Amino acid sequence: MSEEVQDDTPPFDPETHTRALWPLPVGVDEEALKRLRHDLRTPLNQIIGYTEMLIETAAEGGSTTLAEDLQRLHAASSQILAILNEGLAQWKVETGKVDLIALRRSLLGPLNSVLGYRDLCEETARSLDLTETISDLEKIGFASRNLRKMLEQESFAERYHLGTPVTPLGSSSPPVPVPPRNPSALNNIVGHILVVDDEPLNREMLVRRLKRMGFTASGAENGLVALEVITQESFDLVLLDILMPVLDGFRTLERLKADEKLRHIPVIMLTALDEVSSTVRCIEAGAEDYVPKPFNPIILRARIGASLEKKRLRDQERAYLAEIQAERTKSERLLLNVLPKAIADRLKGGEETIVDAVPAATVLFADIVGFTRIAADLVPAKTVALLNEIFSEFDLLVEGMGVEKIKTIGDSYMVVGGVPLPNPDHAICCADMALAMQDVMANFNKRNHSHWQIRIGMHSGPLVAGIIGSKKFAYDLWGDTVNIASRLESHGAAGVIQVSQATSDLLSGHFILQPRGPVELKNRGEMMAYQLVSRK
């Protein structure tokens, strides 16, 4: 019987999404290693003891085949004992050269052989109806599985109080935790495989061999059945025969690779030795690998293992890419909460310094009248909640008004039209925004039985726009246009939208405006002001 390829990948626990940490620390105390020797030898002694009794029974019964397989089983289990004694030898303990990762690798090969020969012995025993032999073989299987489980336990270090895993002997850095596998690729630890072959005996033989190797496997008699089964169950790998009736391997492979949901499943082609050109055609069409008939168990296991590992890595890559895309979307959404989209796009395009001279724009400031007094009468949480209610509705207005919110300062809300993208109707957009903000305040007062009012000031003219800061950066506006709009708001009246002459001239054909006379503005002197009443 050929020995299975050893699997050195640390075992994965789908519940904790972690792997066992190999190797375990070296140079640990003798007591811990004594417990380790005892616990590993216990199931091993059971395996060897029952095997020796079965060898004696088989020799008496005259079953040559069973006796030969039992001898092989005994040789493999004896090899495990020798490896264990060597790996945990006293001189290695005293010199700090216990290498548990090497020990595990050495143990897994003969342990796989023990399990394989045990299965063969059980098949023979069942064919001969040897009830007592079957019972003893089941005990050997139980002990073997316990030994394998012990080697693969994630809590191994903790259970023997070996401490936190440290740098393996000869390594310069601590072991890096392995990310969790994609759950869709883990119907079980070793993989769920579909065998597609029109010959019942071929199909049954291969399914049984795969199950003996530890895989979960099922069969389909042609490509059409296979495609139907794949849509109903999740598979990690498909073994696909080329020559089949109804739907052959070529067309089945093409359909798999054309389906966005199925194309990630690796396919290994089952080929005869004279099908080299067909195999090449399948590889070019997207097949992962091929296995020639008749199958060599070691080659079969190796190629299946390689394909499953590639799939795991691809699944992991897709999961990472999806995560990266989700984080990128989140980052872009956060960036757009801080910056206008046009500016964010310029930043992502590589611009480091963004400063624009804008020849014509309209700036709007809105402020809640008497907010300091209002806040003094309310608990802080209530004050913030009410202010957030108002400003959130203002934010919704901004999205449909063709204007850009610049910032909020306390209870002040700043908006601009014509920035960052030029807009000849910048004043009209801001005027519509101002009137809509008044409606928001009226509805807010009705809902909350309050009497809050806002002042709004607007002015049109040239300004400078750009980004300031390198960490907590912000998009802001500078210039007289900004200052005058702010003064018009602060020198306005409650419930009034006060605009400058320049803004009034841009609105006169579309809105009803009333003169308010000259207004004395700080650092600007007198300026003619108008009240925006409504649209015409």
Candidates 112, 84, 79, 108; CA nearest to 20 is 108
Q: What is the pLDDT of residue 488?
A: 95
Q: What is the pLDDT of residue 183?
A: 40
Quote the percentage of the chain above a pLDDT of 90.
32
Q: What is the pLDDT of residue 155?
A: 45
Q: What's the rounded mean pLDDT across residues 9-21?
A: 41
Q: Which long-range contacts (CB under 8 A, 24 or more apart) does 253-262 make?
A: 253/282, 253/285, 253/286, 253/287, 254/285, 255/223, 255/227, 256/227, 256/230, 256/286, 257/285, 257/286, 262/230, 262/231
DSSP conformation letters of 62-94: T-HHHHHHHHHHHHHHHHHHHHHHHHT-HHHHH
Q: What is the pLDDT of residue 275?
A: 58
Q: What's the rounded mean pLDDT across residues 278-307?
A: 81
Q: How many CB atoms lie within 10 A of CB 365?
A: 24
More confident residue, 88 or 371: 371
Domain spanning 12-168 has what CATH number? 1.20.120
Q: Is the pLDDT of residue 370 over 60?
A: yes
Q: What's the rounded mean pLDDT across residues 331-351?
A: 78
Q: What is the pLDDT of residue 494?
A: 93
Contact present, 476 and 406 (Cβ < 8 Å): yes
Contacts of 502 by beta carbon, 8 Å cutoff, 6+ apart: 459, 460, 461
Q: Is the pLDDT of residue 107 over 60?
A: yes
For the ranges 104-118, 163-177, 396-410, the one whose mean pLDDT is highest? 396-410
CA atoms of 339 and 465, how far apart (whole Å): 12
- 452 to 50, 61, 224, 439, 455: CA distances (angstroms): 89, 102, 71, 12, 11
pTM of the predicted protein model = 0.46
**Residues 168-177 pLDDT 10s:** 323 333 333 3
Q: What's the rounded mean pLDDT across residues 510-524?
A: 89
Q: How confident is the model at residue 276 (pLDDT cuts 50, 70, 90)?
A: low
CATH architecture, range 185-319: 3-Layer(aba) Sandwich (3.40)
CA atoms of 41 and 482, how far apart (whole Å): 83
CATH 1.20.120 residue window(s) in the chain: 12-168
Q: What is the pLDDT of residue 513?
A: 94
More confident residue, 197 or 24: 197
> CA 503, 505, 511, 514: dihedral to nearest 10 degrees?
90
Q: What's the rounded mean pLDDT across residues 404-432?
A: 94
CA atoms of 475 and 469, how far apart (whole Å): 9
**Residues 462-485 pLDDT 10s:** 999 998 776 777 889 999 999 999
Structure tokens at 331: 């980052």
**Which class for 434: exposed (0-12), middle (13-18), buried (19 or more C-beta within 10 A)?**
buried
Q: What is the pLDDT of residue 18?
A: 38
Q: What is the pLDDT of residue 316?
A: 82
For the ranges 79-83, 206-210, 392-396, the one whose mean pLDDT is highest? 392-396
**Residues 234-249 pLDDT 10s:** 899 999 988 888 898 8
Give CA 86 to chain center in angstroms: 43
CATH 3.30.70.1230 residue window(s) in the chain: 341-535
Q: What is the pLDDT of residue 354?
A: 86
**Residues 75-103 pLDDT 10s:** 988 888 888 888 877 777 667 777 777 77
b/e burial code for range 495-506 (CB count within 10 A of at least 16 → b): ebbbbbebbbeb
Q: Is the pLDDT of residue 26 over 90?
A: no
Which CATH class for the 341-535 domain? Answer: alpha beta
Q: Is the pLDDT of residue 262 over 60?
A: yes
Q: Is the pLDDT of residue 295 over 70?
A: no
Q: Is the pLDDT of residue 184 over 50?
A: no
59-73, 90-104, 243-257, 392-406: least confident range = 90-104
**Is the Cα torsion angle 186, 139, 154, 81 positive or negative in sign?**
negative
CA atoms of 305 and 5, how far apart (whole Å): 9
CA atoms of 208 and 220, how far apart (whole Å): 14
- 185 to 190, 211, 256, 306, 326: CA distances (angstroms): 10, 18, 17, 14, 21
Q: Is the pLDDT of residue 515 over 70?
A: yes
Q: What is the pLDDT of residue 190?
A: 61
**Residues pairing with 409 in the sheet:** 412
Candidates 534, 429, 425, 527; CA nearest to 480 is 527
Give CA 19 to chain center in angstroms: 17
Candidates 463, 446, 455, 443; CA nearest to 496 is 455
2-16, 84-98, 136-150, 384-398: least confident range = 2-16
HSE toward the beta carbon, residue 128, CA cutoff 13 A = 18
Q: What is the pLDDT of residue 117?
A: 85
Q: What is the pLDDT of residue 330?
A: 80
Q: What's the rounded mean pLDDT across residues 395-424?
A: 92
Q: What is the pLDDT of residue 207?
A: 84
State how beta strands 216-220 and 192-196 pair.
Answer: parallel
Q: Is the pLDDT of residue 510 over 90?
A: yes
CA atoms of 244 and 171, how far apart (whole Å): 52
Candidates 1, 208, 193; CA nearest to 115 is 1
- Average pLDDT over the chain reads 81
Contact present, 254 and 226 (Cβ < 8 Å): no
Q: What's the rounded mean pLDDT across residues 299-303?
A: 84
Q: What is the pLDDT of residue 34?
A: 65
More confident residue, 390 or 181: 390
Q: What is the pLDDT of residue 208?
A: 77
CATH 3.40.50.2300 residue window(s) in the chain: 185-319
Q: Is the pLDDT of residue 532 over 70?
A: yes
